[in-house]
Structure 1
Amino acid sequence: MKEHEALAELSSIRSLMERSAKFISLHGLSGVLAGIYALIGAYCGYRMVYQAGTHLMYRQYYVNDQTVIVKLSLIALVVLFCSIGTAIILSTKKAKQKKQPIWNAASKGLLIYAGIPLLTGGLLILIFLYRGYFGIIAPACLIFYGLALVSGSHYTFKDIRWLGLSEIALGLLAAWMPGYGLLFWSAGFGVLHIVYGLIMYYK
């Protein structure tokens, strides 16, 4: 009986330590919804870029129309803000249900370690836009986002690390096949988010 109580106490202590060291309020459905937002944004971008076509094709030239670039950037920003807003709302709700603080050492660590690659990637992408290097924007988005997930995974679920590695792999493939940037962007930010969001939700 004493051994059972000791094991239960150790399990409770371990759970408390994990809660303080890991941000476990991240909601799986936020990943699913982020993926849906990305697919909707990708469809809008596809209709904008491939106006004359009826299916995805290899682009032998890059988009250089400033009006189209601005519209695509606005679509990406809308997807980003919707995804971040949804993640904050659902994570806050989950934290309240579990009676846990949303802002603690783990969430601070997640914000810092994931934020540095994201901020660096965002600034680099702005430079690419300014310099007209449009063909490598999609790979850069995927690679730096993947690096952010891998870096931040130390402060949240381990599955996030595999999502990050998958995003990096897709980014490298997108760099190798620049004509399919929109397709890889849709797969990375859309399909992978939905798949990993469902995995996290059911776990």
Structure 2
Amino acid sequence: MQSKNYHEDLSHIRSMMERSSRFISLSGLSGVVAGLAAIIGMGYVCFVFKREGLNYFEGERITFSKSMVNELVITGIVILVVAILSGYFFTANKSKKKGLKIWDATTKRLLFTFAIPLVTGGLVCLGLLYHHLFSLVAPATLIFYGLALVNAERYTLTDVKYLGFCQIGLGLISLFFLGWGLIAWTFGFGVLHIVYGLIMHKKYK
């Protein structure tokens, strides 16, 4: 009986330490919504390419007009906003159900470690756009987003790093097949997010 109580106490202490050091309210459903937003957004991008008579699979040989670049950037921003809002909504809802604070010292550390590679990657992508290296943007976003996930893993669910490794791998591969960058981007931000989100929702709901 004492042994049972001892193990229960250890489990309780371990749970308390986990909650204090890691942000464990991250919702898998937010990953699903983010993935769907990415796929829908990429569908619109394909429509834009078709409308402009461009073949993205030509890689670095294609030329984008300024208006088209602006349209693609706005599309990317909309996808990002949808992903952030859905992430906040589902995560806040999950935190409320578990009686946990969504904003604490751990959340701040998570956002800081996540933001460093992400902001750096955003600036790199702006530089690529400035120099008209459009075909490198998709691989770059995958790589830096993957690095952000791996970097943030220490403050949230361990499983996040595996998604990060997949994103980095896709980004590196697509660097050598520039005409397939958007396909890799759609698979990484769309399909992988949905698969990861469903697995996490089932595992941690």
Task: Give the alignment's TM-score, normalised by structure 1.
Answer: 0.95
SS at match of 2:64: coil
Q: Distance in 2 between matches of 1:154 and 1:196?
A: 18
Q: Distance in 2 between matches of 1:46 and 1:174?
A: 18
- Contact kept in structure 2, 1:34 and 1:190, CA below 8 Å: yes
SS at match of 1:24: coil
Superposed, 1:1-203 pairs within 5 Å as 1-51=1-51, 58-60=57-59, 61-203=61-203
Structure 1, unmatched stretches of 5+, are: none
- Contact kept in structure 1, 2:138 and 2:182, CA below 8 Å: yes
Q: Is the alpha carbon distance of 1:149 and 1:141 closer, same or farther for their aligned partners in structure 2, counting shifts above 3 Å? A: same
SS at match of 1:101: coil
1:96 Cα deviation after fit: 0.7
Q: Distance in 2 between matches of 1:146 and 1:174?
A: 14
- Contact kept in structure 2, 1:46 and 1:182, CA below 8 Å: no
Q: Cα deviations across residues 53-79 of structure 1 (Å, max 9, x unaligned)? A: 7xx872252342111111111000000
RMSD of aligned Cα (Å):
1.4
Q: Distance in 1 between matches of 2:185 and 2:135?
A: 12
Which letter does structure 2 place at the counterpart of 1:59? Answer: E
Q: Distance in 1 between matches of 2:104 and 2:52?
A: 51
SS at match of 1:50: helix
Structure 2, unmatched stretches of 5+, are: none
Q: Distance in 2 between matches of 1:89 and 1:188?
A: 22
Q: Distance in 1 between matches of 2:138 and 2:160?
A: 20
- Contact kept in structure 1, 2:49 and 2:56, CA below 8 Å: no
Which letter does structure 1 place at the counterpart of 2:57? Answer: Y
1:105 Cα deviation after fit: 2.4
Q: Number of residue pairs matched?
A: 201
- Contact kept in structure 2, 1:49 and 1:63, CA below 8 Å: no
Q: Distance in 2 between matches of 1:68 and 1:57?
A: 13
Which letter does structure 2 place at the counterpart of 1:58? Answer: F
Of all paired residues, the percent bearing the same amino acid is: 44
Which letter does structure 1 place at the counterpart of 2:45? Answer: G
Q: Distance in 2 between matches of 1:180 and 1:170?
A: 10
- Contact kept in structure 2, 1:38 and 1:190, CA below 8 Å: yes
Q: Cα deviations across residues 87-113 of structure 1 (Å, max 9, x unaligned)? A: 011111110110001012221121011
Task: Give the alignment's TM-score, normalised by structure 2.
Answer: 0.94
Q: Is the alpha carbon distance of 1:71 and 1:98 closer, same or farther for their aligned partners in structure 2, counting shifts above 3 Å? A: same
Q: Give the ranges of 4+ consecutive aligned residues of structure 1 lying more than 6 Å apart after TM superposition.
A: none
- Contact kept in structure 1, 2:56 and 2:62, CA below 8 Å: no
1:126 Cα deviation after fit: 1.0
